[in-house]
Structure 1
Amino acid sequence: TRITLEVVCESLRAIVKEMRASIIRASFSSAIYELDDFSCALFNPQADMVAQSDDHPGHVMPMPWSVKCAMEDFQGNIFPGDVLLLNDAYRGGTHLNDVTLLYPIFNDGELFIFPAVRAHWADVGGMTPGSYSGLATSIYQEGVRIPPIKLYERGRVNEGVMRLLLSNMRLPDERYGDLNASLGACRVAEQRIEKILGKYGRTLVLDCISENLDRSERRIRARIQDLPDGEYCYEDYLEYYDGDVLDPVLMRLRLKVSGDQLTADFDGSSPQVPGVVNSSLAVTGAGVFVAVKSTLDPQGPVNSGAFRAIALNAPEASIVDVRADAPAGAHGEVRKRAVSVMLGALAQVIPEAVSGDLSGTSFPNSIGGYSKSRDRSYVYIEVPAGGNGGFLEADGSSAFVNVDFGSIRSIHNVESLESDMPLQVRSCVLREDSGGEGERRGGLGMRRELRLCEGEALYSVLGDRAIIPPFGMHGGGPAKQLSVTWERGQTVKLFGTPGKVTGHRIQKGDVVIMESAGGGGYGDPLNRDPEDVRSDMLSGYITRHRAEAGYGVLFTGEWEVDDDRTSALRLDMLGRRLRLTVKADETYPYIGNRGKRRAVRLSEGTITGLGVRVGDLIELMGNHPAPLRCWIEFGEEVEQDICPMDEFGRRVLGVEQAESVWVRSLPGPSAAGGMAV
């Protein structure tokens, strides 16, 4: 009956929730018990995820790939008491820090279900404490790569494997504790599953699992069926440095809707590079699914049945389907960029259902060293949350985890941090002016300052959106990019490769300043209610300069809105917007060295009129909600106020030959002199 179906399925979800509670109580690493950077799920022998809870989408959605790989490696050779361990980023993993434990449970001599835990281990070896390296060129620099192995065999631990793994990781006692926390959670699941089987029997439980998967599939297919058939295009970038030269890589998407089936085709995306901007197809697929599920069916259950209606296509050995031996640590950045390009494409189909772009990076920071006062080593991990995009009904949320981060907490607990490690939080505030301008403002990022209180340490960060900002929708403005600096004495210093740092040595008294990106705006900022702009300014969310220059709002001496002057200024700002006429041109539009970025060739007069330089980044806005980003190149043969554009670019913007596009220059460092050609 339907009641029995619901009771069984919710019982399985309750098991996953209890697994989570067990891990939080028993884990050793603050990355788990403070940041909640772990996930639990149940799988059947066919590698279908049958239940999950309040988990991290970036963990649970790639996990079926990992389970499938383990099943393939040990087909017919899995027995009661076996425990499997893996973190291989090329085989369904995310980054190497995310270690997956699989605990097969048997019933009547047959494999019945897999409780699984994917937990972020704060260090898995590699070239830097925390195993984060913004400038790694090979996966071997990112830590120990674990293929599917038996850590326990028929109930007996493989001591040799255990010693081998822990000997190659920093803080081995902490790693051992986190491993046992995962193992203990799976044993709790085993006890609860035995009770369910005793009450309902194997056949009924399997029937309920099968029906739950099928109805999840029917539900998502019904949502896709409501979309108009067609192909919808978008593209975006990740920031790769070839040495210290920025050479962005391209993520290019054709989203195909046919009946109740959706295909995300990433053909044309950049080949993989020796830098931290690659990830696996499992991770890319997670980003696709997050965008589809959160946009079309946010209330429905998440299981493998809902995945069936979505197909993926990607070139092998590319940034979206990485192969050995390229780095794969950028799983968060690739997943978030997949969400971004999906939002850009879905905006052409359901324009009112999407938001401005997310902050666009997981922004993991790590500080590692030895504390003499505590007589032990330490590794600090934090992922300062950024802003979310504005949307139809409201402004974006500020300093809040993006939708693909699920249960992860946005701010590391200060008391726990300062008691466990020789670090002091000097400040933690919202970042003024960081949200994208819009009728609905993008959410703000945060500024967090950490002071090293003793000794020396190594600092690393693996971020993105430090140069290319999150985009707005429906004319909304871009958000402010992330920023990382460090302070010694009275001097604030920059890093040579913004957003990507490996093992920078800091000393007692130094301060690391982490500023996360905001979210993109939604709607024309000149349409924002002037009273909302005033409220933002008085609340410290925006400066007076942003209120005037971005929103066209002027104030009286008493900080009241000057309605007449505001109306006049907004009308003037609207009239000064620059527009170019599109000319169909199928010349290959991309330039770069190892990377690939879109160039737009403009006349000298047009470049001067725009107030920009060759190499600068601009965005074009057409009839579709999302913008098209381009880098300016000089086109000697191009006429004044003409914008040559290939078919893909025209499809992104929804424009035809002779239609006009609105041009906006983007904030941040000029690309001139600092870009690969």
Structure 2
Amino acid sequence: MHTLDIFTRDIIQNSLQAIADEMFVAMRKAAMSPVIYEVLDMGTGITDANGEIASSGAGIPAFVGVLDKAVKQILLQHPRPGEIEDGDVFICNDPHSGAVTHLNDVVLAMPVFTEGRCVAWTANIAHWNDVGGMVPGSLSTQATDIFQEGLRLCSVKLISRGQPIRSVLQILHANTRMPDFMEGDLWAGVAAVRSGAVRLRELTAKYGTDLFLLAMQDFMDLGEKVSLKALAELPNASLSLVEPQDDGSLFSVSVQIHDRELIIDLRDNPDQCAGPTNLSRDGAVVAAQMAFKALTAPQGITNGGTFRPLKVLTRAGSLFDAQPPAAEGFYFENLIRVHDLILRCLAQQFPDRLPAGNFASVCATIIGGRHPDTGRVFTLVEPEIGGWGAEPGRDGNNAVYSGLHGETYNCPVEVCEARYGLYVERMALNDEPGGHGQFRGGRGVCIDYRVRSDGSFLTCGYTRSVVPPWGLQQGLDGTPNYVEVLRGDLPPERYAMASSIILNAGDLVRVRTGAGGGYGPPSARATAAVHDDLKNGYLDAHTARAVYGVTP
């Protein structure tokens, strides 16, 4: 009989966190694509033997929420004894089969064996530049089913007992326009899961397998207790919200808060569409998990036990529970729409806990072509930064990633210009007025990319391009997200959701991301703060007089 004290439990859990972080660093250092090693469009994690998340590294929060679901699908697809062995590595990317997001996001997962039994999994996920499909970069707004979006990998064994399966590698090479980048990023992911497995075996050797498993289970139980304690401190409530979207459709959510359970109901939403903005049920669950965490215990631990009190209801065949063969290339915009919808619904009841709306879009910007200096094919994949909403007592943050992207970074100008066939001529805060209030919303950005070669292309996926970020407690709405293409003296072309827009040398792609919503009435903003806004360029003289009643 093994006994566990809280000190040993915490040491083991902190070790798991350190291992997940080390996996993250290993993958970042070895990756070939800037979208991984600079932007950090990736995530790492450790699950228990059943696929429940035990610990995660840095990176995109929504990606960490994918890894447990992917491992569970691998276990489901390989149920017979001997199908999962020591040294195996599995690869998956299909949102209809456990990989949650879209085909560009590739999951690698490795079972960790000690004393002849699987005790955990190491896993990671990263955005690959191209996985085939009908357009370069694999993201097309014209896709009507997932077969047009690229190669589907459904819990496929990539490495068997430590040895790569050559035929699988041949299939991967044959289904990408950028095989060198694919291979570089693939082996970075393999190195990460293998390094994590080594560390886990060292950990179990130090404390014993049984005590290790007991500590992992105990910590998940603690995660549940933290969530239940937070729920018990909230008032019971029944909330609902219907919100118009950029295309005129209506999204709705209802939330029931009880002492021991929070229910998020997304069943009353549009049917899945013929385009690529569908979301898997697992994706909707990830969005709900992030919102649940923000409301209950944002600074506390997060593991498989954290979300036991959360129940998510979806309707099969709806936009948020799309069925095969629905296209999902631009899933990320509706994932963040669901996340923002739930937060807005909760903010009605808890304005002291949650901020006003942020720019709430990945603002995916993809520019590709042939590098004019090297002749090599390039694909810039850049999620953009924007403004966050204000909250009680403080202005919103300027120029940070959305809650979906978390601990990621925009690609440095120097790296962008060296690796891609572009010049970055401007990167500044967006000066469009909006997000006013007692506390103002953070500013978005304005970025100008100058194209250097003919026959390049632009693909973009932006929402909140028509319906701006929402203000709270009488704060004013923020500003929209959009892209403009400027071609000499011709009028600007404005885009939000578009793919394969032809660009030629000299064309300018101008990104504008929105300001977050304001909090509280503008009339309550301190005069000194208004003057600071004028000084810092967040405000012009006309808006200062018209909105705040302050004369410069």
Please indicate the TM-score interval, normalised by the length of the shorter structure: over 0.9
Kept after mapping to 1: 8 A contact 2:271/2:317: yes
Question: What is aligned with 1:464?
Answer: 463
Distance (Å, rounded) in 2 between the aligned partners of 1:84 and 1:347: 40
Which of 74, 83, 93 is the matching residue for 2:89?
Answer: 83
Q: Is the aligned partner of 1:68 residue 2:72?
A: yes
- RMSD of equivalent CA atoms: 1.5
- The 5 Å alignment of 1:271-350 reads 271-350=271-350
Distance (Å, rounded) in 2 between the aligned partners of 1:41 and 1:107: 19
Kept after mapping to 2: 8 A contact 1:41/1:116: yes
**Which deviations, in whole Å up to 9, do the C-alpha atoms of 1:158-200 show, x marking residues without a partner?**
2222111221112111111101001011111121112111110
Distance 1:257 1:5, change over 3 A: same
Task: Report deviation, 1:403.
Answer: 2.5
Task: Report deviation, 1:435.
Answer: 4.2
Distance (Å, rounded) in 1 between the aligned partners of 2:408 and 2:173: 26
**Which deviations, in whole Å up to 9, do the C-alpha atoms of 1:79-132 show, x marking residues without a partner?**
112211001112332121110001111112111111001111122122332223
Question: What is aligned with 2:436?
Answer: 437
**Which deviations, in whole Å up to 9, do the C-alpha atoms of 1:259-302 show, x marking residues without a partner?**
22001001211111112332112221222221221232111111
Question: What is aligned with 2:138?
Answer: 131
- The 5 Å alignment of 1:536-575 reads 536-551=533-548, 553-555=549-551, 559=552
Q: Is the aligned partner of 1:448 residue 2:455?
A: no
- The 5 Å alignment of 1:62-211 reads 62-76=66-80, 77-92=83-98, 93-211=100-218
- The 5 Å alignment of 1:172-571 reads 172-239=179-246, 247-409=247-409, 411-495=410-494, 498-551=495-548, 553-555=549-551, 559=552
Task: Report deviation, 1:13.
Answer: 0.6
Structure 2 SS opposite 1:114: strand
Task: Report deviation, 1:351.
Answer: 2.4
Kept after mapping to 2: 8 A contact 1:133/1:461: no
Distance (Å, rounded) in 2 between the aligned partners of 1:460 and 1:237: 24
* Identical-pair percentage: 29
Distance (Å, rounded) in 1 between the aligned partners of 2:518 and 2:57: 31
Kept after mapping to 2: 8 A contact 1:386/1:400: yes
**Which deviations, in whole Å up to 9, do the C-alpha atoms of 1:473-528 show, x marking residues without a partner?**
11111111012111111334224xx3011101101111100111221111112221
Distance 1:353 1:427, change over 3 A: same
Distance (Å, rounded) in 1 between the aligned partners of 2:298 and 2:132: 37
Kept after mapping to 1: 8 A contact 2:423/2:452: yes
Question: What is aligned with 1:244?
Answer: none
Task: Report deviation, 1:139.
Answer: 2.2
Task: Report deviation, 1:443.
Answer: 0.8
Task: Report deviation, 1:433.
Answer: 3.1
**For residue 432 of structure 1, what is the amino acid of its counterpart?**
D
**Which deviations, in whole Å up to 9, do the C-alpha atoms of 1:2-60 show, x marking residues without a partner?**
11111100001100111111111100000000100100000112110011122311101
Distance (Å, rounded) in 2 between the aligned partners of 1:197 and 1:64: 21
**After alignment, is 339-348 or 178-187 more displaced?**
339-348
Kept after mapping to 2: 8 A contact 1:436/1:520: yes
Distance (Å, rounded) in 2 between the aligned partners of 1:435 and 1:164: 50
Distance (Å, rounded) in 1 between the aligned partners of 2:365 and 2:344: 28
Kept after mapping to 1: 8 A contact 2:139/2:330: no
Task: Report deviation, 1:434.
Answer: 4.7
Task: Report deviation, 1:252.
Answer: 1.0
Kept after mapping to 2: 8 A contact 1:435/1:445: no
Task: Report deviation, 1:140.
Answer: 2.6
Task: Report deviation, 1:530.
Answer: 2.5
Distance (Å, rounded) in 2 between the aligned partners of 1:358 and 1:319: 23
Structure 2 SS opposite 1:221: helix
Question: What is aligned with 1:15?
Answer: 19
After TM superposition, the score normalised by the length of structure 2 is 0.96
**For residue 34 of structure 1, what is the amino acid of its counterpart?**
E
Distance (Å, rounded) in 1 between the aligned partners of 2:176 and 2:67: 23
Q: Is the aligned partner of 1:45 residue 2:49?
A: yes
Distance (Å, rounded) in 2 between the aligned partners of 1:219 and 1:489: 58
Task: Report deviation, 1:136.
Answer: 3.0
Question: What are the ranges of 5 or more consecutive residues in structure 1 without an aligned counterpart?
Answer: 240-246, 560-677
Distance (Å, rounded) in 1 between the aligned partners of 2:330 and 2:251: 14
Distance (Å, rounded) in 1 between the aligned partners of 2:433 and 2:131: 34
Distance 1:170 1:195, change over 3 A: same
Kept after mapping to 2: 8 A contact 1:228/1:349: no
Kept after mapping to 2: 8 A contact 1:128/1:460: no
Higher Rg: 1
Task: Report deviation, 1:135.
Answer: 4.1
Question: What is aligned with 1:642?
Answer: none
Distance 1:473 1:164, change over 3 A: same
Question: What are the ranges of 5 or more consecutive residues in structure 2 without an aligned counterpart?
Answer: none
Distance (Å, rounded) in 1 between the aligned partners of 2:220 and 2:433: 42
**Which deviations, in whole Å up to 9, do the C-alpha atoms of 1:197-249 show, x marking residues without a partner?**
1110100100100010000100011101122223110123444xxxxxxx433
Structure 1 SS opposite 2:187: helix
Distance 1:79 1:237, change over 3 A: farther
Distance (Å, rounded) in 1 between the aligned partners of 2:387 and 2:142: 25
Kept after mapping to 1: 8 A contact 2:264/2:288: yes
Kept after mapping to 1: 8 A contact 2:471/2:478: yes
Distance (Å, rounded) in 2 between the aligned partners of 1:91 and 1:475: 44
Distance (Å, rounded) in 2 between the aligned partners of 1:147 and 1:434: 47
Distance 1:535 1:184, change over 3 A: same
Kept after mapping to 1: 8 A contact 2:369/2:453: no
- The 5 Å alignment of 1:617-632 reads none
Kept after mapping to 2: 8 A contact 1:65/1:91: no
Structure 1 SS opposite 2:167: helix
Distance 1:346 1:323, change over 3 A: same
Task: Report deviation, 1:66.
Answer: 1.5
Which 4+ stretches in 1 moved above 6 angstroms? Answer: none
Distance (Å, rounded) in 2 between the aligned partners of 1:449 and 1:132: 22
Question: What is aligned with 1:54?
Answer: 58
Kept after mapping to 2: 8 A contact 1:131/1:143: yes
Task: Report deviation, 1:329.
Answer: 2.3
Kept after mapping to 1: 8 A contact 2:462/2:482: no
Distance 1:234 1:279, change over 3 A: same
Distance (Å, rounded) in 1 between the aligned partners of 2:53 and 2:205: 22
Distance (Å, rounded) in 1 between the aligned partners of 2:336 and 2:303: 20
Distance (Å, rounded) in 1 between the aligned partners of 2:106 and 2:515: 30
Distance (Å, rounded) in 1 between the aligned partners of 2:399 and 2:463: 16
**Which deviations, in whole Å up to 9, do the C-alpha atoms of 1:325-359 show, x marking residues without a partner?**
22212332222222222222222332211111121
Distance (Å, rounded) in 1 between the aligned partners of 2:143 and 2:546: 40
Kept after mapping to 2: 8 A contact 1:431/1:446: yes
**After alignment, is 386-395 or 163-172 more displaced?**
163-172
Kept after mapping to 1: 8 A contact 2:372/2:421: no
**After alignment, is 518-527 or 7-16 more displaced?**
518-527
Distance (Å, rounded) in 2 between the aligned partners of 1:537 and 1:137: 48
Structure 2 SS opposite 1:79: coil
Kept after mapping to 2: 8 A contact 1:133/1:462: no
**After alignment, is 60-69 or 169-178 more displaced?**
60-69
